[in-house]
Amino acid sequence: MSEIFEARDWDAAGRIGRLSVPRSGVTVETPTIMPVVNPHIQTIPPRELAERFGAEILITNSYILHGSDELHDEALSRGLHDLLDFPGAIMTDSGSFQLSEYGEIDVTSEEILAFQREIGSDIATPVDIPTAPDTEREAAEIELGTTQERLEAAAEFDSGETLVSAPVQGSTYPDLREAAGEHATGTGLDVFPIGAVVPLMNEYRYGEMVDVVAAAKRGLGPAAPVHLFGAGHPMMFALAVAAGCDLFDSAAYAIYARDGRYLTVRGTEHLEELDYFPCSCPVCAEYTPAEVQNGETERLLTEHNLYVTFAEIRRIKAAIREGNLLELVESRARGHPAILDGYRALLAHSEQLEHTDPASKSTFFYLSGESASRPEVRRHHRRLERLSVPDSLLLAGGPTDGAVETEEVWTVRPPFGPVPPELSETYPANAELPDRLDGEAYAAAARGVARLAEANPDCEVALATAGWPDAALAALPGSIELV
């Protein structure tokens, strides 16, 4: 696994990585989108996906090819790359989606893996059991057991240079997802899709989706390349990347276009309801909504949806490189309540995010109460326990007017709390803060003050608190003198 995937720049659990694909000899930069290509219907030819939109990898369904009277033999004789005319890497699904939709398929996991190898797939997928959210636990455990048996068999399969994925199942049970992730990495397989999350996304249950991803990541570990099956809407990419996902597969660009729907990073619009395009991609710059509606509607909407999808991927990579991925996630969270739920769920896993979140990056921007729960704040609070303090200390959370005689004065900077002078210009204490802070910023600062005082019971701590809300003051230990 470590030989094919290298993670470089990190922010939260998101990373820019390089996935080496030996069969086709290409390297895919992640995070990225894998456009779903139906081998029978191609509004945008695969080569155009590569040359015009920058797709380095796509995904198609080997089960459809296997059962196609028209394409089965041709795929075997010509090979998948020649059949689709695509110069990058190609991943293939196995029919698990059809299994979840129709209850059965007419091929075994071993048969479909062999077919994927023979047609030249770069990343093959065994037939796992997609266990829907909220499935009764006993059923989820039984289905997970079947999936794990198939992964073990796939690990013994002679795939040649074809990489093999190990789907992670377990429904909405965090302990099952974590155990499934640990088992999947133990098989020695290569790419790790988190499966059966489409129902959560269709129902806008992004908080639960993040919990599923976080649990799977605990089992998989930070080195595993992670694919989030069925995640195709650009409004949730930043959230999913920050949670630790590297690959997404999207049919949304085409399905939505077929239904006259226009993708944005804030949600989905219906073409007939638009008077203006809020986008500057080539389609939106050249056409009005009325012209698209009266022209090649499906193709033009498909092109726009691809442009906005790949633009968001580039934006996310830039944010990781610049160290402000969580600011991007928060801006997306302000565009849709369901993404805000997901962001809050992500921050509930801040302790887990700390394992990969860089200790220093670009300026911390405090944007809302959610910012008070970021990994940087937790890290600073923990650091307070290790700082040397004098016998008496004034924490200046407001004007002091010389009211207290003390050996030393530190500032108190919401949401971090106490900041000694030598750290005041370092990350993250040099954060950009609004003048009108919310209660969560002061509450987090109060937790930092309490942590410092509890770690140093012999230090006399005074706190100048002009303007602090009563709720934050009430959370302070009684040993702290308020000025």
Under the banding of pLDDT at 50, 70 and 90, the label for residue 403 is low
**What DSSP state is assigned to residue 168?**
B
**What DSSP state is assigned to residue 77?**
H
The chain-wide mean pLDDT, for the chain, equals 94
The CA angle 172-176-178, to the nearest 5 degrees, is 105
Q: What is the amino acid identity at position 370? A: E
Q: What are phi and psi of 261, to 5 degrees?
A: -110, 145
Name the 3-class secondary structure at 10. strand
Q: What per-residue confidence (pLDDT) applies to 1?
A: 43
Judge whether residue 398 has pLDDT over 60. Answer: no
Q: Which amino acids are annotated as binding site, given as ranges?
A: 128, 196, 279, 281, 284
Catalytic residue, candidates 9, 73, 82, 93: 93
Q: Which amino acids are annotated as binding site for Zn(2+), given as ranges?
A: 279, 281, 284
The model's pTM is: 0.94
Q: How far apart are CA 210 and CA 255, in angstroms?
A: 24
Q: Which amino acids are annotated as binding site for substrate, given as ranges?
A: 128, 196
Judge whether residue 400 has pLDDT over 60. Answer: no
Dihedral sign (CA 254, 199, 165, 62)? negative
Specify the higher pLDDT residue, 406 or 140.
140
State how far Cα 3 lies from the chain centre. 23
Compute the average pLDDT of residues 357-376. 94
Residues with Cβ < 8 Å from 273, sequence gap 6 or more?
A: none
Q: Which two tokens stand for residue 288?
A: 């009005």
Q: What is the amino acid identity at position 238? A: A
Encode pLDDT of 263-288 as tens digits: 999 999 999 999 999 999 999 999 99
Q: How far apart are CA 27 and CA 377, in angstroms?
A: 36
Active site residue 158: no
